Each structure stands twice: as structure tokens, then as C-alpha cells.
Amino acid sequence: MAVSTSEAQPSFSIIDPEMTVRAMRDSGYKSTTHALAELIDNSIESLATTIEVFGVSRRDDRTGRYTLKELAVLDNGEGMDGDTLRGSLRYGHGTRRERRGIGRFGLGLPNSSMSQARRVDVWSWQSGATNAFHTHLSLDEVEGGAREIPEPGQQAIPSIFREASRNVFGDSGTLVVWSDLDRVEWKQASTTFEHTELLIGRIYRRFLAKRSERLHPDDPRDAEIGPRRTITLIPIREDGNVPEVQEDAIVEVRPNDPAYLMTGTSCPESFGLGPMFTELEGSPFLVPVTYQGQDFEVRVRASYARAHVRDSSAPEAEWPEEWVGKDAGRAPWGKHADQNMGVSLVRAHREIQLDDSWVSGDDPRERWWTVEIDFPTALDEVFGVTNNKQGTMTFQRLARFDWKRESLPGEETSGDVRRRMEEEGDHRSYLLDLRKQITNAIELLRPRSRQAKQTRGQRHILDEDQKADAKATAAIKRRVVDGHEGESDKAGESGSEEEHREAQVESLTQKHHFDRTDALQQIDETIRAGSRVRWIQSAQSNPAFFDVEPLPNVMQVALNTKHPVHSHLYDIMHPDVEDMAEDEVRERLARTAAAFRILIYSWARYEDEQTGKARRRVQYARMEWGKYAEEFFDEDDDSIPPTDLV
């Protein structure tokens, strides 16, 4: 049937405004707090330093109860002119197309607002608050046929917010007010702001923290974050036309750092000296990602709980009397950590998601470690960042990735699967190296966070490590008796024991980035064992897969965590096989044996390419190393205890 041309032509616009707004209301914000975060994003993008969130509860004359009626966000940012203000309520408008900051698709203000309320009003000013421009978006009006955002006009800012604000209104700023709240999960602001602080504090922790603590000391990106911000949650009760700020319920949002490397956070710090966690040696790890012909870096930070946080008998513990000797997981700081379990995804210095799929859900000790992934906005598509900045769809699929389950007939190795994924454009292929780094970091963190309750298998592993150190120590002392002196022996001949100790502390803290408390613990363990060797792991920028450092009376070997050999030999150095099936243990041993073979082949090729005197020197070095290895392996540490030697 043909459409008549004599009558008004039907409309075939790509988007129906009414249906679009209705559909976008169901865009999947996890909570009212997540929706408010979109407004806070806008405030930070506009260079605001003070941000206030108001919740207005009004008394119902019929029931006598107070019910939340309005939510508002006020900032002292740059403000908007009339056209920008009008465009800010248009779906997909966006003013920051280059995607260098927090924004994503220009959906934040209308999308988040309509997900919670049927009306949003916006005031913005650039030449004093008395000259504010105002416009709005109303679902009722859209359903009634409205197709344009009303042209902004000058309108006074509502007095309730002017009077409740804790800050003097500046020359510029913006106020966003949600009303007709038909989808807000809260009943009263005063009862929810306290819980809201944890999520807002975690999302914006870097913007709220001390400048000296918000990034790793070696991270040069402080200028990207800018000045320190304040976020204040202000509940207001209105009885009739008389508003009253609930002063006792005002919340000054503190940073909530799931890595627990910051101080002055919302975490109770009554366990002793903070921060609560210490950073894993070698962290942060930089993982290169090549995407669309460009190279990017993803930063991986890993941290775990200090000894005195978990054990009230530890030297630095200062627990309240009521908690001494009890389970730290039940203490206030342990309960706080329980709410922050998982891998934290940070984009443009703002947390996108706390992914708990990497956590073993049935083990409460998982709360005592954290991994933070920091990626640039250019990798949004690779990570699968959602348009409401609440998730990373591609990354979420990595925790359970198993190349064997992914393999197709004829694919026999992980490399086969990876190459096929790359050919198919599977974005996970860009993140497989990142997954490996995360997995390795977690495997390093877990034993440290479980030290208070080690399993029998873990204890056996530690015993074997100690036996290896004892055998090496016995061999070294035997060689000293035979007149063979090393640099570590010479260094130990001069200076006091305290100077020797300080030299070791300096090495561990300055060169290998150990926390001082952890460094002292390592040194004390070495001294108590009477050991002349120490094995550590450290991220090194040189191409060697291990580093040898002669310290006073201690030969320190640092395995380079950045070298590929580390990941391939990791399984044998951390054989946590207590819960593994027999076939899995066999496979792990086979992989490690293959890695050892490749390691020897690499030396063989190195030797093969040498010529003349250089070749003879390399061959001689191999022969001499073999002699030392024979002596170390043959050393019977049971019959010749290290303490019996000089």
C-alpha cells in the first residue's frame, strides 16, 4: 500500500525522543550512588575543587515521615554558557570528543538523571551566581510532545541550596537538581550518605587523597589529577517550607583506597601505624599493550596487609584492648577490607569497577591483598568500558580465561589459541600478557596474606627453601675456610653489625623498593637463620633474569620479575599444589622442565655465537659455574651445620 503524498509526510527520524528517553532510563546504573558519580565526573571535568551533594527529605503531613524528594550536586567549576548548558542535557551531545578525561560518550548528565528521576534542572554561571542560566529536561514534557531542550534563561538558584552550602558561591559553577524521584533506592539521605561515602570515596580516591599518596612515587602523572578535591554530602530536612541542614549527619568524603596505601582514609586505623598494606616488591609492574599500531602501558600495583594489621602480637601492633588476640577479619579494619575485595580497574584516575571475579569467594583471607589496574582511555575498546563507566566487559572475562577451554581442534598450545584470537579481532588477545601479570602478582600476594594460617603444604615448601639456603650457606662458609673470599665476605670484614644491617636495608628499600618494615623482617630472618644468602624478587630494567648483589656477609640474589623467565619458572618457585589435582601437578612440573630446557638452550646459543677469546671465556665461565654447582649440590647441610663453620 503506497503512502499518500498529498497528506503530511510520515516521520522516519532515526531516534524517537520519547522512546529513547524511556529506554535510556533502563541503562543499568548499579545504584543511585553510581548515577550521582556521573554528575561528580562532570564537576571534576569542569575543574571544580569543591563538590557538594545535597539530599532533601520532606515531611509528609499525612504520615509524619520524611521522604527523599530531591538530590542535587553543586560545584565551583568553570560553569557553562547558554549553548553548552542547553547541549549538556542532550543525549550524546558531549563536549570532550578527544576522550582524554573521565567522560565517555556525552551521555552522563541526561542518562544518569533520567535513570533516577523524571525531571532534572540545571543552573550554571560564569560571571557570578546571581547571573545563573537555567534549563531543564522533563520526562512528562517529552511524553507530552516536547522535542527541544528549553532555551536557557536567567533564573535565581533555589534558596535551599544557597543556604545549605558549606562554601561561598564562586564566580563560576553548576548546580544539578533531580526531582520527581521515582527510581531512587534511598528513602532518606541522612541514613544513606554514610554508606555512600565508601563507594564515592573509592571511585574518586585519587582526587581526594594527599598529593604525596595518590600515586606511586615514581609515577609522573600527578598533574593529570590536578588539585586536591573535597566532596561533601549534606542531608537537609524540610518541614513545611522550613529547611534544616542535619549538621550531625554531614559527611566529608574521605578516600577509600582498596590498596590501603593511603593514610587518612575511611578505614579505621586503630591497628597501629598506617597505611594498612604494603606494596609488593617490584610493584608497579608496567605491561605493554599494542593496539591499532600504537604502544600503551598498563600499570599494575599490588599490595598486601602488614603483619601488625593481622596479628595483635606483632611488634608494631597497637590494637584496642577489646580486639587483642582476636581475628583481625572481625575487627573494624578487617570489615572495611572485606568491602574492598577484588581487582580495582582505574581509568583516567577514576575507578571504573572493583572486579571480584579474581577472588576466591570462600576464603576470608582474600581481603588482605589487592591488585589495582590503571589503563589509559585509549584502551577503552580493548577493556570493554561500558558507556556508563561502571564496568569493563572484556576484562571481566579474563579472570576465568583458560586457553584449553577456548581451543579448537588442531590448536595444541596457548600460542595457537592466541594467534587465532588475534586474527579474529578478539580484544582479550591484547590483555593476555596483563592477565599473566595479574595472576603472577596474586600468586605472590596470597601466601603473604595467609602467613597467619599456613597450610601444611606451604609449611613444607618453606622448609625446603630454608634447607636450600642452609646448603648454600654451608658451601659458602666451606669455601671461606678454604681461602676463597668473595665481595660479600670482604664487605663484612669492616664496619659494625649495625652498619651491615643498614647497608642491607638501603639495598632492599632503595634499589628493590621494599617497604622498610618488610626489609627489616627479611634481614631479621636472614640473621636468625645464620644465612649467608637471600633470595628476593624485584622488578629490574636490565635484560638479566637475575641480579647478584654482594652485601656485608650476605649474597643477595634478586630474580627479575620483568623478565620472561620469571613467569615461566614461577610455578616451580611457588609450588602451591595443596589443592591441585595430580594431573595438574604433573602438567606444572612438565612446563617448568620445558622452561628450564629453554633456559639452557639460550645459554648454549649465546656460547655458540661467540668467537675466539670471547668463546673461550664463556666456555670457561660455564665450566667454573659447573664446579660451583657441584659443590653446592653436594654439600650435606645435615652433617655439616652452618653454625659449625667459620
Tell me the pLDDT band of 49, cut-offs 50, 70 and 90: very high
Residue 94 has what pLDDT? 53
Distance CA 311, CA 59 (A): 49
The tens digit of pLDDT for each residue in 97-124 reads: 444 555 544 457 888 899 999 999 999 9
**107 φψ region: left (φ > 0), alpha (ψ -120 to 50), beta (else):** alpha
Contact 176/113 with Cβ under 8 angstroms?
yes
Tell me the DSSP string of 223-248.
HHH-SPPEEEEEEEEEETTEEEE-GG
Q: What is the mean pLDDT of residues 308-325?
A: 91
The tens digit of pLDDT for each residue in 601-641 reads: 777 788 888 888 888 898 888 888 777 777 777 655 443 44
Q: What is the mean pLDDT of residues 584-588?
A: 70
Of 630 and 523, the structure prediction assigns the larger pLDDT to: 523
Q: What is the mean pLDDT of residues 163-186?
A: 91
> CB-hemisphere CA count at 13 Å for 304?
20
* DSSP summary character for residue 508: I
Tell me the pLDDT band of 458, cut-offs 50, 70 and 90: very low
Go through the domains of the chain in sequence order and give each one's CATH number: 17-252 (3.30.565.10), 277-451 (no CATH), 454-644 (no CATH)
Whether 584 has a pLDDT exceeding 70, the answer reads no
The tens digit of pLDDT for each residue in 140-173 reads: 998 888 888 999 999 999 999 999 999 878 899 9
Residue 561 has what pLDDT? 75
Of 237 and 63, the structure prediction assigns the larger pLDDT to: 237
Give yes or no for a cis peptide into 258 (omega within 30° of 0): no
User: Percent of the chain, pLDDT > 70?
Assistant: 85
Q: Which residue has the cell 662458609?
A: 477
Distance CA 127, CA 337 (A): 45
Whether 528 has a pLDDT exceeding 80, the answer reads yes
> For residue 548, with 0-12 CB atoms within 10 Å meaning exposed, 13-18 middle and 19 or more buried, which class applies?
exposed
